[in-house]
Structures are given as C-alpha cells and as structure tokens.
Structure 1
Amino acid sequence: MNYTNWYRISMLFILAVALSSCKLGRFVVYNFADIKDYKKFPSRALVSHENKFMFDSTAHGTYPKSIKVSNKKDSVSLDWLLEHHSTVAFLIIKNDTIQYEKYFKGYNKESIIPSFSMAKSVTSILIGCAIDDGLIKSVDEPVKHYLPELEKNGFGKVTIKHLLQMTSALDFSESYFNPFSEAASFYYGRNLKREVSKLKLKGEPGQKFDYVSGNTQLLGAVLESALKGKTVTQYFQEKLWTPLEMEYDGSWSIDKKNHGTEKAFCCINARARDFAKIGRLYLNKGNWNGKQIVSRKWVEESIKADATEGGADYYKYQWWLPSANGDFMAEGILGQYIYVNPSKKMIIVRMGKDGGGVNWSDFFMALANRSDK
C-alpha cells in the first residue's frame, strides 16, 4: 500500500470515529432506524421470570392457508406473503393458543427485535400502574408538577392526558430523515434530559391530535420523576416483565451508559412471544391469570375512542384504534405490531425489517374476521 492510499484510509477512519462521537455523526453512520439498532445503543437489562408463561400451540391453526393478493393472478400462501413483504416474525394467537408462528430471513423465536414505537404503549401501561400505585394522582395532573423546569417553556396548562392523547401542541419534528429534527436528537442523541428541557409548544394544548414521539418521552420523564430514584426499566421489570412471566431476557435502550435515560418513545428489545404477552394482558383487561396487574379501568380508558378535547377517534392513550369494533394495537415504525381483537380473543404479532408495502391493520382485521371460518 502506498503512502497516499494509507493516508486516505487513515483520514476516513479518523473522520468516521469523529462523526460517531456526536449525534450528527451517528445519524450519518447509522443512516436510519434498523431492526439491529438494539446493538448500537446502551441499555438496561430486563430479566426473565424463573417461571415462564408459555402459550399453548396447535398444528391445526385456524388461519387461512392461502390468501388472494391484488397483483397476483392466483392465491399465495400466508408464508409466501409474509416472507416477501419484509416480515421476520409473525404470530397468530387465539384463545391462548398459538395458531401460527413463523420466522423468516434468518430469524427465530429467540431473535431479539426492537419494539420501536410499540414502546409507547408500554409506557402508557406503566403510567397506569403508577396511578394505581398512587405515584401519580391522575391523568389530569399538570406536567409541571413532575417537571417544574418546563413551566417557563409554556407547559403550564399541559396535562398528562394531553401527552397520552398526543394533544399537547408540542413543537416537535417527527422526521427521522432530518438529522437536525427533534426525533433524530432523541433517537441518536446522548442527553435526553437536556433535549426534553428544550421542548416548547406551538399552540394551545387540548385542541388537536399530533403524533410526535416527544409526548411519550415526556411521559417517561414524568414517570421517572414520580418513581423518585427508581429507573423506568426497574419499574417495568417489577410491574410487567416479572408478573407476565416473560420467557426471555430483554432490555430497554438508554441514551448513554452512565446514569442513562430510557428512550420511552421507542426502544424495548424483546422476542416476539414476549411482546405477545403485552397484548394478552390487555386482552384480559389488565388481568394476568387471576392477578390484576393494571386496573381494568385504566385498560378500558386507554383503548376507548375519544375525539373530545382535540383527540383522535383512532388513537387513545398511546394505542392505535384501527376500527370501531373494539380492536386496538401497538405499532412501530418498521412495521412492528401487537394487534388485539377482543371479540375474537385474538392476538397477532408482526415484526419486520420494514413495512413491506402492506396495510397491516387491514390485514390483521381480515385475518381476525376469517378466524372462525
């Protein structure tokens, strides 16, 4: 290797190291969210329960073996459709029994997959647990009671309910393609507390639905304040991970190694089967095998459509409501889903490398409607 080539390679290496040491650099190096991102960020561990809850399974599941696709002349198998539309894990659970479980593209039941924004729904559950525990009085409490430093930024009228319903009027860019957006700062940055302290409003709260991740990170900050020294991950372990008898260890990504803050808006890392247990908890109105983990009132309030005070009838407390038939789901940016259909006693988990060009909520509803046939 001559000196010129050696020099160029050295300079590229130094540039890469320099870039990776800052938010902009990490944005350039990582480029965009990926299902391997759990390896890129530090995290806090979640430890599986010694007694592991296992769904029953059957070799004769009630799901369609073939499906008609609009751009195909003939029907295709469910396996084919999933594999050719960027899916890495797909579970159909009905009456507590796994009817279908397949993994693709080198993934298996032990593969860790990040939740992305499905973590928003978990953060909502933990807010409900904190209210049950008396750590938070109610959703009508002002955020400033827990984050007094935000009052000077105009947050005097913002309540926890505004954050839960995405009606806070937060001035926040959700673009993950813009390295200077708040979303990029939250995802790639290493000081979430500082980023939260800079948040401001762009209007009056309680007037309009606007889905932005800053609302959920604020919920995480409220929860952390209410916990008084306990981390959000520790509370998650205590209130959900252990009681739900998770099959595997998991983790929650944080912004930095030492005294880090959980990325409440995104990054829980787990296996598909354990994500399904979050769905089972809400399918059973917060009850887990006879024990009330989170109050039934909270669960029902969380998934009941409410378009008042600027709310959207397709979204409630960090849960999406795909129809007026009582179904609901957690959703992540790369096509991560926990879909629950109470009337069919069905849970569907889909994890993907990306959305794969499929309207998954419609697909889930179609599968649910065909499950009795």
Structure 2
Amino acid sequence: MVAVLARRFGDLSLAEDAASDAFVTALERWPGEGVPPNPGGWLTTTATRKAIDRLRRESQRDDKHQAARMLHDDTPPEPIGAVDDDRLRLVFICCHPVLSIEARVALTLRLVGGLTVVQIAHAFLVPQATMARRITRAKAKIAAERISYRMPSASDLRERLAGVLAVILLVFNEGYLATTGDEPVRADLADEAIRLGRLLHGLLPDEGEVTGLLALMLLADARREARVTGAGELVILDEQDRAAWNRPQIAEGHALVRERIAAVAAGAEPPGRFQLLAAINAVHTYPASAADTDWGQIVALYDRLIAVDPSPIVRLNRAVAVAELDGPDVALAEVERVASALDGYHAFHAARAELLRRAGRDGDARTAYDRAIALAGNAAERAYLSRRRDQLAG
C-alpha cells in the first residue's frame, strides 16, 4: 500500500504518514464499529483520503485539483506482500515487534479478532481493568511512535510469528469454549482460527510450531459435535460419544503430528509448545474408548511440555493426568502448588473439585464446585459443574 501511495503522490514520506494515520484510525474505530468486510481496502482508501487531506492543507489551489484526480488512478495495484489474505495480513501487521508480546496479542485480539476486553482478560488471567489499560497503552505507543502501516515482507513472517500463533490460538480457544454469552461454542471463531492456521501452514510449511498449532486446533475442534448436549450442558472428554467426532479431521491432525515426529527424528529442532500440545491431543483422540487412553504417554508429554512452558496451567493439566496413574491424592498435592497463581481461574477450581470428589472429600469438593461455578462464564460449563456438585452426598 505504501508503494502504491508513493507512486500516486510522488512522496514516500507522505505515503508512510498517511498509511500510519489510517492504521491509527482503524485502531480507534474498529473495536467499536467492527472490522470491515475488506480491511485492506478500507485501510488503503482511508490512507488515500488522509494523504489528500494533507495535500489540501499544504498545497495551493492548483495542487488540490491534481490531488482530486489522483483518486481516479487506474494504475494496476502492486503485489500486496508475502501474505495475500486480508485478515492474516492484519494479524502480522498488528504483531509489530516494537510492542511487547502481551500487547501485540491483546491488541490484535481486540482489533482483528473482535474479542471483547472481558474475553481477552479471561484468556490472559488478568483483571478486566488491567487488560483495558494494556490495550490503551499499546494504541498510544503506536500513535506516538507513528508505527508505519506496512505490508509484511517475507522477513517479517518469522520475526512476528510467536505473536501471530498466540493470537490464532486464543481466537480458537474463545470459539472452542466461549468466555461469555449464550453460545457455549463459537463455531465462527473456531472456523476462522483454523482457516488462518491453514493459511499460515501454507506460508511456512516447515515451521514446526505452525504445523503443531494447526494439528492442535483440528484435533480439538473435531470433537465439537460431541461436546455439548441438546439441553446445553458441557460433555467432558471421557463421556463424549466418539462416534460423533469428525474422523477425517482427526486423521488430518494425526498426520500432521506424525509429520512433526518424523521431522524431529530426522534432525529438526525439538518440539515446541504447540507440537507437544498437539501430540497430547493425538493420544487422547487415538483410542476408540476413553478407557484405553495411554495416560503414561500423556504424563510423559506433559513432562516435556513443562520443560518448554512451565506455566501454572500446564502444571494443572499434568496433575489431572497424574491422577489417572497415581490417584487423586497425589494429583491434589500437585494442584495445591499452583493454587495461588490460579485462584481466579474457574478451570482450576473445577479440576480440584473433581479430584476432591474422587478422594471422597465431598464437603471440600462442594466448596470447590461453588467457586468454579461462580467464576465460569459459559452456561454449558456451569450446567455441567452444577450437576456434578448436586450429585455429591449430603
């Protein structure tokens, strides 16, 4: 876009300023008005108008007529860069390295993903006010430093990849289990995240984490039809009807996981976070029955994942797997180690409630269920947790 503007107006500096102004305008308007159907076209049109406005202010009367004629330039558009898709290109643009990784992801989720501040705050496990300030600071930094709206080049792709992967996964997560609202599953968000994942895999087929993310999303989304009852209650993995799973999608996800296993065996870099999460989901989706799940392999994969990502959530998920091998008491001891970090996270209290239930501590389990229900924003999840709580003795 900058090159097209520069050719139209004969001034590279003017083109860069106009593109930056258009990007800032998008940051101000899109969160409230929504992302337009053709974001790239909207930005180009807005940048053109910004350039013309500046020319009108700075030029004499004759120059105004010349600027107006520029709107009708029939010159064929130049190539748009390394990324053809409007939405994916905007994700790369928003994930500018001058911003912190947290700010990049939060701003992109708000601007491009269309998530609310509440949903983004939930994804980051921080208060809503904290996330609102983080997004505001990111917008201010873009405006203050006049970060240029520029089509991502091939060299930008890997530099910005970590933020882009994080954005796509968080959009998928909001589709997989909605934070708020009446819909327990947001199929539109999950489908869009998978679409972006496929595009990214086509751009960077040799990037292990790109392949891992796509496999992870495919394997998780393949269970969509079995995850909520007709009455609107969440169905946990062990209780799902596996005949309702999308088998072609699972086969595709398994093939991608095997592709990465072969690549690592051939000398590629050790698997990262997304590849390991995909491998865990592959183990879950391989057997015909939940009773045949290889929990030893899952715990081993979590051990490798903790070496890459020692976050409290990963440790919580590992503890749930440990319960299947060593019993609920051992797992509870692991869970208590992350209690302070995850006290505001409903899934922590839900997992703890299930472990307490299995350990025969019904009173403590009831308290944990109550806490999980109070924190959960998804009606289907609340329905499941309420039923489990009400089944407790006493």
What TM-score do the two structures reach when normalised by structure 1?
0.27
| Greater RCO, CA 8 A, separation 6+ | 1
Instruction: Return the structure number with greater helix share.
Output: 2
What TM-score do the two structures reach when normalised by structure 2?
0.26
